[in-house]
Amino acid sequence: MTYSKHWQTLYINVNLATMSDGGNSYGEVTQAALAVRDGKIAWLGKESDLPADFSATDSEVVVIDGKGQWLTPGLIDCHTHLVYGGNRANEFEMRLQGRSYQEIANAGGGIVSTVTATRKASEEELLASALPRLAALHQQGVTTVEIKSGYGLDTSNEIKMLKVAGLLADELPVTIKRTFLGAHALPTEYKDNAEGYLDVVCEEMLPQVVNENLADAVDVFCEGIGFSLEQTKRVFDAAQSHNLPIKVHAEQLSNLGASELAANYDALSSDHIEFLDETGIRAMKKAGMTAVLLPGAFYFLRETQLPPIALLRKHQVPMAVATDANPGTSPIHNIHLMLNMACTLFKLTPSEALAGITCHGAKALGMSESKGQLAVGYDADIAVWNIDQPAELCYQFGVNPLSCLIKDGLQVLMHNKK
């Protein structure tokens, strides 16, 4: 393939996994063509059906022979915490010696230890450490990433994290969605005063985040070691009063009913959900929510409780898949590995797994009208893969089959040139 910087591009001799079938299939179109105009997908279908106005003989159009490769939507990692200071390798060692994630958190480690390191780091240092993490995802075909705050836990440091997340978009051609997660853990200065901390979250942090336009959504860690259902409700009320969509870390280590609560607020997604029950699933379905599966955290914490995949399927709740990249429960910056784990650990079908990081990832971010599918009018965020069939993306990892990455119609990465 040749490198293109043109606004009108026609890809011929390609196969498409359009991901327009909600994960029931890949939405395959073989022997296809796809036309890009002004950063959007202008036409796609069988090459033999190509209309005259997209014809390969039009001199305005740059024609690229895809040589039988596969095109998918650019990948979407809809749940990450990839801006943070320090790392928690010491806690990894402690867990291997038998201490649990909860024990370490209750003893003052866990999220709070990353808070100390994040507060110490300057904006420049946070940006420098986050960039290679984002670059790794981008090299794997990711064109949209969600990044949460939640390691600042005071106003200036939460704002600092969100600003750094925004700055990453100037460094790499990746769409960044930011989520305010002030209610991630109790900072030590508010130990035994959760209500006092939530006053700050709701009455100081959130208004400032909104004023400076630093977040697209609000998230809460609702869990025994996080915030109770009542406390979570307070934050949801505040988010709603600012018209910000809601996401929730829910049912990860126990079932507190956070998914059902989030459904009352028409939340975008409930994430983790290993302990989610059918009542919660029904509520999520009714509210049009997406279930975000995080196999990296399940694996890294050696969890045994599987998320209720069969029930999610039964109630047709869309399942997204994400890395949850973070220093405590998923220091894994590999979206291909998530595809593999979603299949091997959670028994998703390969087309469901791929939907999890395309159309359903977009839905979890409220972007299902513009991203996550190859469809006319959608953003031309497209990954080109040197593979024979889409299931290969889930089947192997470690050799990167990405051949080319297109963002808003422009080729921004080329490797494994075919």
Contacts with ligand NIG, residue ranges (CB under 6 A): 110-111, 114, 221, 249, 252, 297, 324, 326-329
Whether residue 329 is annotated as binding a ligand: the answer is yes
DSSP conformational letter for 399: S
Residue 129 or 329: the one with the smaller Cβ distance to ligand NIG is: 329
Q: What are phi and psi of 131, to 5 degrees?
A: -60, -50
Q: How far is the CB of 79 from Fe ion (least distance, A)?
A: 6
Whether residue 79 is annotated as binding a ligand: the answer is yes
Whether residue 37 is annotated as binding a ligand: the answer is no
Residue 105 or 359: the one with the smaller Cβ distance to ligand NIG is: 105
Which uninterrupted H or E stretch holds 126? helix 123-139
Nearest to ligand NIG by Cβ — which residue? 328
Q: How far is the CB of 187 from Fe ion (least distance, A)?
A: 18
> In this structure, are residues 215 and 242 in contact, taking their beta carbons and an 8 Å threshold?
no
Q: How far is the CB of 296 from Fe ion (least distance, A)?
A: 10
Q: How far is the CB of 239 from ligand NIG (least distance, A)?
A: 18
Which uninterrupted H or E stretch holds 383? strand 382-385
Whether residue 240 is annotated as binding a ligand: the answer is no
Burial string for 225-238 (b: 16+ CB within 10 Å, else e) reads: bbbeeebbbbbbeb
Whether residue 336 is annotated as binding a ligand: the answer is no
Nearest to Fe ion by Cβ — which residue? 324
Q: What are the residue ranges of helices labelled H in 140-294? A: 155-171, 194-200, 206-211, 229-241, 258-264, 278-287
Site size toward Fe ion (CB under 5 A) is 1
| Number of alpha carbons in the 13 Å side-chain half-sphere of residue 65 | 2
Residue where the block lists tokens 């110490």: 120
Q: How far is the CB of 220 from ligand NIG (least distance, A)?
A: 10
- Exactly one of 47, 216, 219, 324 binds Fe ion (CB under 5 A); which one? 324
Q: How far is the CB of 79 from ligand NIG (least distance, A)?
A: 7
Residue 12 or 111: the one with the smaller Cβ distance to ligand NIG is: 111
Where on the phi/psi map is residue 108: left (φ > 0), alpha (ψ -120 to 50), or beta? left
Q: What are phi and psi of 197, to 5 degrees?
A: -65, -40
- CA 350 to each of CA 145, 212, 266, 346: distance values in angstroms, whole numbers, following the listed order: 21, 40, 29, 11
Tell me the DSSP string of 246-277. EEEEESSSS--SHHHHHHHTT-SEEEE-TT--
Whether residue 151 is annotated as binding a ligand: the answer is yes
d(CA 314, CA 281): 10
303 lies in the site for Fe ion, by CB under 5 A: no
Residue 251 or 324: the one with the smaller Cβ distance to Fe ion is: 324
Residue 274 or 324: the one with the smaller Cβ distance to Fe ion is: 324
Whether residue 234 is annotated as binding a ligand: the answer is no
Q: Which does 327 bind (CB under 5 to 8 A by kind): ligand NIG, Fe ion, none?
A: ligand NIG
Whether residue 249 is annotated as binding a ligand: the answer is yes
Binding-site positions: 79, 81, 88, 151, 184, 249, 252, 324, 326, 328-329
The residue ranges that bind Fe ion (CB under 5 A) are 324
Annotated binding site for Fe(3+): 79, 81, 249, 324
